[in-house]
Amino acid sequence: MELKEKTIKDLISKAIKMLEYSYVPYSRFHVGAALLANNGTIYTGCNIENAAYGPSNCAERTAVFKAVSEGVKEFEAIAVVGGPDGRIKDFCPPCGVCRQVLAEFCTRDFKVILAKSIDEYKVFTLEQLLPESFSL
């Protein structure tokens, strides 16, 4: 399904807002995400780090887990932004672990929006970012 320009901008602006909530005392690299469910609800997420490093959670997974924990498992798109000290300098593509988590719930044509600002963004399908993915 094609995403409307208005929807894309709404997701990007919600992802940018989430940069404020990132808990990143270790990397100082803020990431924000906004995940659009098929039912129209938007689940936001930020990265949350931990002194033991391993338990840290990425913004994308925070958003996915918030949705799934509320019984929502069908998604259309996610917007992701990030940068050092919360300032966006470049596109912030999802890490491999987040791509695999998205692949658990999303179809191959799920859209991943990478943004530098409301007006500067690129849209990929999950298939483009994680081809030949593993699933049961």
Residues 4-33 that bind ligand THU (CB under 6 A): 24, 27, 29, 31
For the bound state, the minimum distance from the C-beta of residue 104 to ligand THU, rounded and expressed in Å, comes to 15
The C-alpha atoms of residue 59 and residue 86 are separated, in whole angstroms, by 13
Q: Does 49 bind ligand THU (CB under 6 A)?
A: yes
For the record, the structure tokens of 106 come out as 């999303």
Query: Which string of x and - marks every residue 53-92 that binds ligand THU (by CB under 6 A)?
Result: ---x-xxx--------------------------------
CB contact burial 105-131 (16+ within 10 A = b; e otherwise): bbeeebbbbbbbeeeebeeebbeebbe
Binding site for ligand THU (CB under 6 A): 24, 27, 29, 31, 47, 49, 56, 58-60, 94-95, 98
What residues act catalytically?
Answer: 60
